[in-house]
Amino acid sequence: MLSRFTPDGSSWRTLADFGLPKDVWPVGRLDADSEGLLLLSSEKALVDRLLSPSRKAWKRYHVQVERVPDDDALASLVEGVVLDGTRTLPSRATRIVDVPWPPRDPPIRFRKSVPDCWIELAIVEGRNRQVRRMTAAVGHPTLRLVRVAIGDVALGALPPGAARVVDDAELAFARLPRPAGSTVPSPRTTPRPVSRRSPRDRRP
């Protein structure tokens, strides 16, 4: 599935196929080969807040990469890597074990001679394919990408293709006073839907 409402000429489904209300926006996008949390809101001000790096709304990902990143590679991710001539903002990166995700359908690329590893990577920006490009820049191409949280809104055990309404307490972090000089208005206090998307969401 594409986390957008307009088709791109491919066979992927779009958000327009799901009968969503008018004037709904996704909080950031997931590329067609990624999985996990997709937060939707009818409050444009809230969407703008959550997407602004100045708001520090951390977006957390579980990322399966080729080979096992050493401490230097993780430090490079944390400090920021250069993409398109500019350095990414500082991130958080750590190796993780006991990842709960079942095998993907369709399966990831697998090579017997190349080990793989899961890391958790948290960023505050939203550049195009940023996580994949960051791991590739430190020598560890991404094999699988699952977004697990945006701020305090977590995917949890929500099954693929399912949705739930986010309660207002989960969005308290987005209601903190605006940074100095910000002109983004405070959002209304209404619930928003959150959904779980999967790369299997392809048009038949």
- Which pLDDT tens digits describe the chain residue by residue (204 residues)? 777 777 777 878 888 888 887 788 888 888 888 999 999 988 888 888 888 888 778 999 999 999 999 999 999 999 999 999 999 999 999 999 988 898 888 888 878 888 999 999 999 998 999 999 999 999 999 999 999 999 999 999 898 888 899 988 888 887 766 555 443 333 333 344 556 666 555 443
- 1-55+167-177+186-204 maps to which CATH number? 3.30.70
pLDDT reported for residue 9? 77
pLDDT reported for residue 189? 32
Which is catalytic among the residues 31, 33, 48, 152? 31
pLDDT reported for residue 183? 38
Yes or no: say if 15 and 26 are a contact pair by the CB < 8 Å rule. yes
pLDDT reported for residue 194? 55
- By C-alpha distance, which of 123, 122, 121, 124 is closest to 179? 124
Yes or no: say if 14 and 5 are a contact pair by the CB < 8 Å rule. yes
Q: pTM (2 decimals)?
A: 0.81
pLDDT reported for residue 10? 80
pLDDT reported for residue 184? 32
pLDDT reported for residue 195? 61
Contacts of 166 (CB under 8 A, 6+ apart): 39, 153, 191, 192, 193, 194
> Where are any strands of DSSP class E within the chain?
25-26, 35-41, 59-66, 82-83, 86-87, 92-96, 116-123, 142-150, 153-154, 163-166, 192-197
pLDDT reported for residue 173? 81
pLDDT reported for residue 61? 97
Active-site residue 31, yes or no?
yes
Distance of CA 147 to the CA centre of its chain: 4
Residues of the chain with CATH 3.30.70.1560: 58-150
pLDDT reported for residue 193? 54
How far apart CA 150 and CA 59 sit, in angstroms, is: 4
pLDDT reported for residue 6? 79
- By C-alpha distance, which of 122, 20, 13 is closest to 61? 122
On the 0-12 / 13-18 / 19+ scale of CB atoms within 10 A, 80 is middle
pLDDT reported for residue 134? 98
pLDDT reported for residue 138? 98
- CATH architecture of the domain formed by 58-150: 2-Layer Sandwich (3.30)
pLDDT reported for residue 198? 61
